[in-house]
Amino acid sequence: MSDRSRSIFIDVLLVGSVALFLAFLYVPIVTLVVFSFTGSRMLTLPIESWSTEWFGALLARPDFFPALKNSTLVATISMIFATVLGTAGAIAWVRFKFRFQQTFRLLTFAPLLFPQLLLGVVMLLWFSVLGQWLGFSTGLATIVIGHIVYVTPFALVIVAVQVYGYDETLEDAARDAGASGWDVFREVTLPLLWPGIFSALTFSFLLSWGNFYVSYSLGGTMRTLPTFVYSGIAVGSSPIYPALATLNFVPALILVIVADVVRRRAACRNVLPEPT
């Protein structure tokens, strides 16, 4: 085989691998979007007619908006707490030296090693024992705590990447100029870490929003969107649920695009001009 033929073969192999990988990722998403516009009551191929009636049927379900409200509330609270804790942990993880630092790093990664189902079951057993002692049952509070435990390590890793690239001499320069500790944090530290923090906020919200296993284990009688979908598909398939997936996909895609725009703009601001 000549060098040119070998080069063409490698290019075709790489392009084909990338195409297969993208197809593996996006064909299920495209399939869900297509099924949400079917005119049939059953999810079958080929699609014989097209309709938007299932979006209206979804909005007419009396249990949809309570589940939407619960998911929004849980994801928002979890996002805020997970990002605050993750940011504090990332700063401590990267910038400070203390005893048992390696143990701290291992413990922060521990929830990442547990499958969601196992984590949900273990926390359910834990809350069941505490509930008997303190007189409470599973619901909104237990779901939020479970989501924070699961999401915080992801937020920590995302912010830690930003902290690793942070130039601490900028804080020293601000202090030398007479800025107080709060001014340094507000005017220097927070703006430079904001792209990572915003990415952590976005990722934490999406992780919490779509979480099923922890929500199912710790929710009790409370329903979120993932458990709403599960309760529906357990009794049969319906185009209502692809319609819900389509409605979920659009705002999630917008959040990801916004996070990437924020990251790119911050990267452009942080590039210093070359000396002339």
- Model confidence pLDDT, tens digit, residues 81-134: 999 999 888 888 777 776 777 777 777 777 777 777 788 888 888 888 877 787
Number of domains in the chain: 1
Q: Is 215 contained in some domain?
A: yes
Residue 43 in any domain: the answer is no
Give the structural domain span for 127.
Answer: 53-270
State the Cα–Cα distance between residues 23 and 20, nearest whole angstrom: 5
pTM of the model: 0.78
Is residue 104 a part of any domain in this protein? Answer: yes
- Which residue has tokens 């284990």? 217
What SS3 class is residue 38?
strand
Residue 34 lies in a domain: no
* Tens digit of each residue's pLDDT (9 = 90 or more) over 174-210: 777 777 777 777 777 777 888 888 889 988 998 888 8
Residue 274 banded pLDDT, cuts 50, 70, 90: very low
Q: What is the pLDDT of residue 79?
A: 92
Q: Is the pLDDT of residue 267 over 70?
A: no
Q: Is the pLDDT of residue 275 over 60?
A: no
Residue 257 domain-assigned (yes or no): yes
Distances in Å between the Cα of 59 and the Cα atoms of 26, 164, 247, 261 are 26, 45, 11, 32
User: Which residue, among 157, 114, 222, has the nearest Cα to 123 in the 3D structure?
Assistant: 114
**Helices assigned H by DSSP within 135-276:** 140-164, 169-176, 181-184, 190-209, 213-218, 225-233, 240-270
pLDDT average, residue stretch 227-247:
74
Residue 66 lies in a domain: yes
The rounded distance, in Å, linking the Cα atoms of 143 and 156 is: 20
List beta partners, residue 50: 38
Tell me, yes or no, whether 89 lies in a domain.
Answer: yes
Q: Which residues pair with 193 in a beta bridge?
A: none
Q: How far is CA 180 from CA 149, 172, 176, 177, in A?
A: 34, 11, 10, 9
31-57 exposure pattern, b = at least 16 Cβ within 10 A, e = fewer: ebeebbbbeeeebeeeeeeeeeebbee
CATH number of residue 201's parent domain: 1.10.3720.10
Instruction: Tell me which residue of 248, 242, 265 sits closest to 67, measured CA to CA.
Output: 248
Would residue 192 count as lying in a domain?
A: yes
Specify the pLDDT at position 273: 46
Contact yes or no for 136/170 (Cβ under 8 A): no
Q: Quick one: pLDDT band at residue 236, thresholds 50, 70, 90?
A: low
Answer whether residue 272 shows pLDDT above 50: no
